[in-house]
Amino acid sequence: PHFIIELPDQNDALCFNIDHKPGTIFNLVRDPPTGIVVNGQIIGDKKIIPGNKMHTYFGRFGIVNEKFGIRLMVSTKEILVSERGKHANFSWTNNKTLEGLNMDLQVIKDRSLTVTLRNSVKFLIILHKIWKMHPYHQDYLGFYTLDSHLFSSNVHGLLGQFYHGVNFEVSDLFPGKDPDKQDANMFVKGNKLTVTRGWKRDFRQDVKNGEKVPCWFIHNNGTGLLDGVHTDYIVSGLF
């Protein structure tokens, strides 16, 4: 999956990829004071195109709000919700709106799920539907944080650590390994990294083609930008 950290006040963005063995579960958000945890499990392509490397995507997300006793499991097939022992099952194939005491859900058929946790956060999960007979690819999910301002200062995780900004500086551009792109030095979190100017796609408006977001790409699974390394964020279960 590709991660994008947009910083509109700087009119810039950071991006990195995390690739690991399909089936691995990563922690994206952990905020002990609010009791919110978001984990995601990655999946691979059906088949690797010869000569290409394996790409991974998120196939399942687990969202927990301990304070309200809410657990949400979102996969490419279904959406399972449990709140204080009550269970409900939603499908991606119908539009559905659920307004609860502590959580609102809105499913847009075959497209997206918006999750609003009362007095805290709002997430958007996008379903990327792939033609079933596609020989290489399969359905996958995207996860977008729409509102994060009520998270505590302790919030962490692969995405959560950036919710309160990040300090960085970028030097002059210079030719990189890839003749089509330019590199620069980035100074961030006490590290000096070689980063590459590129772009990633934001699929919120156009789920099919996305919108290009220019960004500084941090190589090696975000090493140097992330606190620790990406494997530090591996967890044993979705919840």
Supply the minimum distance, in Å, between the C-beta of residue 99 and other proteins. Answer: 24
Supply the minimum distance, in Å, between the C-beta of residue 85 and other proteins. Answer: 31
Report the relative pairing of strands 96-99 and 86-91 from DSSP bridges: unpaired
In single-letter form, the type of residue at position 190 comes to G
Count of chain residues binding other proteins (CB under 8 A)? 62
| Candidate residues 129, 150, 152, 189; the one interacting with other proteins per rule CB under 8 A | 129
Window contacting other proteins (CB under 8 A); options: 45-53, 84-92, 99-107, 218-226:
45-53
The reply on whether position 99 binds other proteins by CB under 8 A is no
In this complex, which beta carbon is closest to other proteins, that of residue 87 or of residue 177? 177
The reply on whether position 152 binds other proteins by CB under 8 A is no
| Candidate residues 70, 159, 235, 238; the one interacting with other proteins per rule CB under 8 A | 159
The reply on whether position 237 binds other proteins by CB under 8 A is no
The reply on whether position 140 binds other proteins by CB under 8 A is yes
Residues 4, 213: contact at Cβ < 8 Å? yes
Supply the minimum distance, in Å, between the C-beta of residue 104 and other proteins. Answer: 19
Three-class secondary structure assignment of the chain: CEEEEEECCCCEEEEEECCCCCCCEEEEEEECCCCEEEEEEEEECCCCCCCCCCCEEEEEEEEEEHHHCEEEEEECCEEEEEECCEEEEEECCCCEEEECCCEEEEEECCCEEEEEECCCCEEEEEEECCCCCCCCCCCEEEEEEEECCCCCCCCECCCHHHCCCCCEEECCCEECCCCCCEEEEEEECCEEEEEEEEEEEECCCCCCCCEEEEEEEEHHHHCCCCCCCHHHHEECCCC
The reply on whether position 233 binds other proteins by CB under 8 A is no
Supply the minimum distance, in Å, between the C-beta of residue 125 and other proteins. Answer: 10
The reply on whether position 150 binds other proteins by CB under 8 A is no
The reply on whether position 195 binds other proteins by CB under 8 A is no
Residues at the contact surface with other proteins, assessed by CB under 8 A: 1-10, 12, 17, 28, 40, 47, 49-50, 55, 57-58, 110, 126, 128-129, 131-137, 140, 142-145, 148, 158-159, 162-173, 175-176, 179-182, 200-203, 210
